Amino acid sequence: GQNIDQPTEMTATEGAIVQINCTYQTSGFNGLFWYQQHAGEAPTFLSYNVLDGLEEKGRFSSFLSRSKGYSYLLLKELQMKDSASYLCAVGNQGGKLIFGQGTELSVKP
């Protein structure tokens, strides 16, 4: 079966660092994606991992361990505008993109 788990909500302080975890079990694996989504809008692509290790892109980094079925998204120097839903998604062998339930991040002053 397919299962993607991430925390429902998190709260962090402006300027801090936050790590959002994601564990997955899917039929086949064709890469792991992280998206940011504001309510009522389309998801915005943040990162893509297909090999184990850390991918860094500015304030955002994403890590993948395929053997553990685990990924995390790291957000540094948090800003108020980072308050949003963060979606972990896995591409499966059929080319479909399957999403986790999303983590609602609230950044407070």
Partner 1 sequence: GAVVSQHPSWVICKSGTSVKIECRSLDFQATTMFWYRQFPKQSLMLMATSNEGSKATYEQGVEKDKFLINHASLTLSTLTVTSAHPEDSSFYICSAAVLSGYTFGSGTRLTVV
Q: Is 98 in the site for partner 1 (CB under 8 A)?
A: yes
Q: Are 2 and 94 in contact (CB under 8 A)?
A: no
Distance (Å, rounded) from C-alpha 52 to C-alpha 42? 28
Q: Which is nearer to partner 1, 5 or 70 (CB)?
A: 5
Distance (Å, rounded) from C-alpha 60 to C-alpha 76? 7
- Spell out, one character per residue from 47 to 76, where the chain touches partner 1: x when CB under 8 A holds, - when not: -x----------------------------
**Whose CA is closest to 81, among 7, 6, 20, 15?**
15
Distance (Å, rounded) from C-alpha 10 to C-alpha 4? 17
Q: Is 1 in the site for partner 1 (CB under 8 A)?
A: no
Region near partner 1 per CB under 8 A, out of 15-23, 41-49, 53-61, 64-72: 41-49
Binding site for partner 1 (CB under 8 A): 31, 33, 40-43, 45, 48, 87, 94-102, 104
